[in-house]
Every structure is written in C-alpha cells, then in structure tokens.
Amino acid sequence: MNIDFKNRLYSIATFLLTPVVLFRLASRGIKAPAYFRRWKERFGVFPSPNFKKSILIHAVSVGEVNAAIPLIKALMETYKEHDFVITTVTPTGSDRVQQIFGNSVFHLYLPYDLSGAVKRFLRKIKPDLAVVMETEIWPNLFRFCKKRNIPIVVANARLSELSLKGYKWVQSLATMAVNNTKFVAAQTQTDADRMIRLGCDADKIYVVGSLKFDIIIEQDILEKGQAIHKHVAQNHLIWIAASTHQEDELELLEAYTYLKKKHPSLLLIIVPRHPERFQVTAQACIQKGFNTQLRSKCGLYDIDADIFIVDTMGEMLEFYAASDIAFVGGSIANIGGHNVLEAAVFKLPVLVGPNTHNFAEITQLLHNCGGSYLVKNSDDIIRHMEELIQNPQQRKKMGLAALKLVEENRGAVALTMKLIANAMENIPLDQDMQKRRYVITKREELI
C-alpha cells in the first residue's frame, strides 16, 4: 500500500468519523458549555489575521500550555518580527492562553485533522515554523506543513508505553507523520526509545530534558500566595490537593476526616482538574460534614472553613504558593498523574499516588531525591501527613530537595531554542547539542 493511498484513506476515514467527533464534542458540552462555542475554528473557519509570517505553537490543554510558557516567551523575545499563533483543543487550555498572553498572541482551536480544514488553517496563518508540544501526532497537519516547507519541531516530546500501544493500529500513519518533522526534542532517553519504536528516524531525535523544569514563577504569584496564607492563623497549615479527580478525592476526604479531628488547624484546599467537577466536589465535601467554601463565592476562606475549593481557572500556582504541603492528583485515580514540578518549585513536600505513567521519570526523580512520598490510599495519606504536620524540619528538608531537583534540571528551553534556530535559520548545532543527538545503543531491543 503506497503512501499516497494511505493518506487518501486516512483523509476519507477522518471525514466519515467527523459526525462521531461532533457528537462527542456536544456530549462534553453538556457538562462544560464552553465546548459548544467556536465550532467554526475546529474546521479552519475564522477571519484571516492577515499575517505576513507567523510561528505556530500547538498545546492541547492546560498542562501543555503551562509547560510551553517559558518556550513561548523565549520565542517571542527571539523572533520579534513574527506574529504568534497558539492553538489548543480544550476550552480550559484556551482560557489559560488568554490569561497568560492576552492579545499578544492569536489564539484558535486547532482544526480537526481534515484535509480542507488543515489547508485553510495553514493558508490563513502562514507559519514559518510549527512547534507541537509533547506528542500530538496529526498526520494531515504534519503532511501539509511538510508540503509547504514549514519545519515542525516536536517540543517536550514524551510518549508513554500506553500511548505507544495505542498507535499500534495506525502505526504506518504515525510513522509517516513523525518523519515529516524536522526535530523531536525528547524529554528523556526512554521517550526517545519509544519514538524510535514508533518509527521515527533516529537522526531527528535529541534528548534535551523536560521544559517543565523551566517553569517560570513570577514575583506577583509569590506575593499573591503570601497574601492568601495570611487569611489563616499563624499556627495553621494549608494542605493543597491539586488537579484532583473523583478517585483522588474519595481517599483525600477519608484521610481528612481523621486528620481534621486530630489537627483542627489544618485547612484543605482542593483544586479539581476539570471545571465540570467543581460542584460535584463541593457537594461531596458538604456531605462529609465539612464547612466548605468556594473561591467563586467567597473570594477567600474565613477562619471557620474546613475545605476551600478553587472553582476558578488559572489560579493554581498562587494557591501552591500559599500552601505548606501538596498532594498532586490524577495519581490515585488511574489517570496517569499530573505535573509534580508545579508543587516542587514552591519548596513543597509532595504526596503523589502510584498511577503516574504520564510523568513516570519526573515523579521517580522526585521520589529519589527525597522530595515526595508515595501514597496509595487514605491510610498512606494519614501516615505521611501526620509526619509532615508534626515535623516542620521534615517539611523543610523535603521542600528544599524538591526545589533543588527543579533547579538542577533546568535548561530544556535553551536547548530546544537551538533546534528551532537550526530549523528556522539553519544555524549549525553546537557540540553540546551534537552530544544530545539520539544514538541507538540497543537496536535489537527497539525493533
């Protein structure tokens, strides 16, 4: 089966599946009404911005947008003559882009991978470069960028074993797509190995580390955090449970029921991962008998609050900055975990569950350096929380270890920018970058 036939078959399949995708979009809109808006953008229909040249950055949702922030700022500083287009897939990702960059960028939803939609999109924005965060593989987008001589750099590339298995049924298409890229900037050697198993050419891959270590914490975030913490008494501790899902919250609330009786000065702040769960989370806390207050209604908690729910978007960092101990969600729930470094950068001791396959290497590094505890259930949470509540020196020790890990692993932005400079301006890669070029050392294990 030749390449052209496979591409045509894929384009026909995506066209035929469009009603199913729209049904799913509408279904999500029932819980999150923002999904009902701006549908035209998902088909490449939007007013032309009349750019002469631009740089496209695609970040699927909030986590990818947050990881991309330092890279986008570096791009904006280096390529000032370009306009910047940032695409997302989710409304929460869209909100985050608007919050951070406002009108300084042109934001859209990435169109569905339909031939006509992708062509319209590229024709209107005229990118000189496409930066795709992590591993969003869209065969038509990558193919038409290649046809238009638009170099693609996959930044912060990661590929879990689960995702790799998911590509099994479209292996040849995924292989063609990744080989339409100029460079793949892999987070780890393991990610690079999996990209090879996916079919990516080895000479495209460079192991540069994770952009998440280059997280930027502005001074105003720290100041907001200090102001938030002042709303509790001096002897109170704030425990933040961030990016939580239902299964996380069941164990957290079970543990908190015990801990609150023994330690009345402990305040729990919950930041649910998805907006459609805000009310569900609040109701679960109220049913447990806790004085539950909401960010959207109260502004900030008062002295009688047991649990404070951040039911707003884009404020998690300032609440991390206000906290003393963190739990990072999606990890007791079988989601694959969320970014533990967002807690580590604030010198917080971290509790995290066992299901962290989306951030396996980073989470393991945090465990290895002594910055986190593994918790599988409410009993584990109680045991480690008791230790941290009663031992300020242990909190400090773990927090400093976590921050040190972040600081020692910074630099992925600068390395990724070297790849981009080569792709954009043909600037030769220096000796340091050449050392980071992927080399197959165990070929028989990768085939």
Q: Which residues are catalytic?
A: 64
361-365, long-range: CB < 8 A, 24+ apart: 361/187, 361/188, 361/190, 362/210, 362/212, 363/331, 363/337, 365/405, 365/409
Closest among 199, 211, 108 to 158, alpha carbons compared: 211
Rounded Cα distance between 128 and 78, Å, is: 14
Rounded Cα distance between 129 and 109, Å, is: 18
Residue 244 has φ and ψ, to the nearest 5°, of -85, 155
Answer yes or no: are the C-beta atoms of 107 and 86 closer than 8 Å.
Answer: yes
- If phi > 0 it is left, if psi is from -120 to 50 it is alpha, else beta; for residue 106 that is beta
- 131 forms bridges with which residues in the sheet? 57, 153
Rounded Cα distance between 145 and 125, Å, is: 12
Rounded Cα distance between 308 and 198, Å, is: 44
Closest among 340, 100, 394, 75 to 213, alpha carbons compared: 340
The CB density around residue 203, as the number of other CB atoms within 10 Å, is 10
Closest among 256, 261, 266, 268 to 378, alpha carbons compared: 256
The CB density around residue 160, as the number of other CB atoms within 10 Å, is 17
User: In sequence order, which residues have a C-beta less than 8 Å from that of residue 299 and are 6 or more positions away?
Assistant: none
